[in-house]
């Protein structure tokens, strides 16, 4: 992995449907060179798979995030399945695991149940994730296309048309809407262990003040170090970074903490990233059976 690989990976994380030629133009290399490097990253398992990340509130579900310490991945996964469908599980350096589950019932009640079943686990943090900026207006046509894209979000329009029976014009219009929807991300899963000298890490920021203003300051100051676009929920911002020097990680985290409006920061270095799609497959299947033309959260 070199700097150019990381730049390509970053763009694919933010939108894996971005054409190789467009990435090449932005990075001043040929589209052929970009394609070759993507294939190399796939061969060496840096890129494990391309995927769709869909925020559960789109389908009327709530999302609980929690951070635990001291237990293994499989143990945590078995426990959280008792409360809801796993959204993602990320074991991190230091015995910390960051998890998320999708729940249909009252999130406060689900949170209490989660605390109870994890009573033998040290829970560092647990909260419901909300982003009031997320607004989706998905039709059943959009859902049909999303169902196809779950298998391969980089499919060409013509390939989707063949599988769906929709016109290329309908698919292009739907894809444009989906790629501009804050609740839907065409992305990928990468293996943090395969990135050579580069270390991906996350800084979870708690904001005391106006979150949009603080986010703007963070983006302006640290955009060159971003691995992908920040994620916002309530009064917290998730910043995705990478560094080629482990000693710079704490330094950068401290600089984030010094930005006006930041109340606290927490640092996480992932060892593995697992997205579990069972919940979205079930949600899509349920929605496709509905007689409604639009998805109603």
- What distance in Å separates the CA atoms of residue 188 and residue 201, rounded to the nearest whole number? 16
User: Does residue 85 lie in a domain region?
Assistant: yes
CATH label of the domain that carries residue 13: 1.10.10.10
Look at residue 257 and tell me if it is in a domain. Answer: yes
Residue among 143, 136, 172, 177 nearest 155 (CA)? 172
Nearest-angstrom CA–CA distance, 130 and 177: 22
Question: Is the domain of 39 the same as that of 95?
Answer: no
In this prediction, residue 50 carries a pLDDT of: 97
Q: Is 287 exposed, middle or buried (0-12, 13-18, 19+ CB in 10 A)?
A: buried
Whether 160 maps to a domain, the answer reads no
Q: Are strands 274-275 and 85-92 parallel, antiparallel or unpaired?
A: antiparallel
Any domain includes 111: yes
Containing domain of residue 214, as a range?
198-268
CA distance 271 to 253: 18
Contact 98, 268 (CB under 8 A): yes
Q: What's the whole-model pTM score?
A: 0.91
Q: Which residue has the tokens 């920061």?
A: 265
In-domain check, residue 236: yes
Alpha helices in 188-245 (DSSP H): 211-222
Q: Which CATH number goes with the domain that contains 127?
A: 3.30.70.2860
Radius of gyration of the chain (CA): 19
pLDDT confidence of residue 58: 87
Q: Left if phi > 0, otherwise alpha if psi is -120 to 50, otherwise beta: which for 278?
A: alpha
Q: Which residues contact 114 (CB under 8 A, 6 or more apart)?
A: 64, 66, 80, 83, 101, 126
Among 272, 110, 288, which Cα is nearest to 190's?
272
CB 144 within 8 A of CB 164: yes
**Residues 39 and 62 both lie in one domain:** no
Contacts of 273 (CB under 8 A, 6+ apart): 88, 90, 189, 190, 191, 192
Whether 166 is covered by a domain: the verdict is: no
Number of independent structural domains in the chain? 3
Question: From first to last of its 297 residues, what are the pLDDT tens digits of the chain?
Answer: 999 999 999 999 999 999 999 999 999 999 999 999 999 999 999 999 999 999 898 888 888 888 989 877 788 888 888 888 999 999 999 999 998 999 987 888 888 888 888 888 888 888 887 665 666 788 999 999 999 999 999 999 999 999 999 999 999 999 999 999 988 999 999 999 999 999 999 999 999 989 999 999 999 999 999 999 998 877 889 999 999 999 999 999 999 999 999 999 999 999 999 988 999 999 999 888 877 666 655
Beta bridge partners of 270: 92
């Amino acid at each position: 992995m070199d700097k150019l690989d990381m730049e390509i990976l970053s763009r694919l994380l933010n939108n894996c449907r971005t054409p190789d030629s467009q990435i090449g133009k932005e990075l001043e290399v040929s589209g052929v060179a970009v394609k070759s490097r993507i294939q190399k990253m796939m061969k060496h398992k840096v890129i494990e798979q391309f995927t769709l990340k869909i925020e559960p509130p789109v389908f009327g579900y709530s999302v609980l995030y929690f951070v635990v310490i001291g237990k293994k991945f499989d143990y945590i996964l078995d426990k959280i399945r008792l409360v809801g469908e796993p959204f993602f599980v990320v074991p991190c350096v230091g015995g910390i695991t960051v998890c998320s589950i999708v729940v249909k019932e009252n999130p406060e009640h689900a949170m209490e149940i989660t605390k109870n079943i994890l009573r033998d686990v040290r829970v560092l943090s647990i909260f419901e994730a909300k982003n009031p900026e997320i607004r989706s207006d998905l039709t059943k046509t959009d859902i049909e296309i999303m169902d196809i894209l779950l298998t391969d979000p980089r499919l060409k329009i013509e390939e989707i048309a063949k599988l769906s029976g929709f016109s290329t014009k309908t698919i292009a219009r739907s894809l444009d809407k989906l790629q501009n929807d804050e609740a839907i991300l065409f992305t990928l899963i990468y293996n943090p262990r395969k990135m050579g000298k580069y270390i991906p890490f996350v800084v979870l920021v708690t904001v005391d003040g106006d979150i949009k203003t603080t986010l703007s300051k963070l983006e302006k100051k640290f955009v060159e170090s971003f691995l992908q676009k920040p994620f916002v929920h309530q009064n917290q911002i998730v910043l995705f970074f990478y560094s080629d020097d482990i000693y710079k990680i704490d330094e950068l985290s401290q600089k984030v903490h010094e930005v006006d409006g930041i109340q606290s920061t927490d640092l996480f270095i992932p060892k593995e990233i697992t997205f579990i799609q069972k919940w979205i497959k079930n949600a899509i299947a349920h929605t496709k059976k509905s007689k409604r033309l639009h998805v109603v959260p």
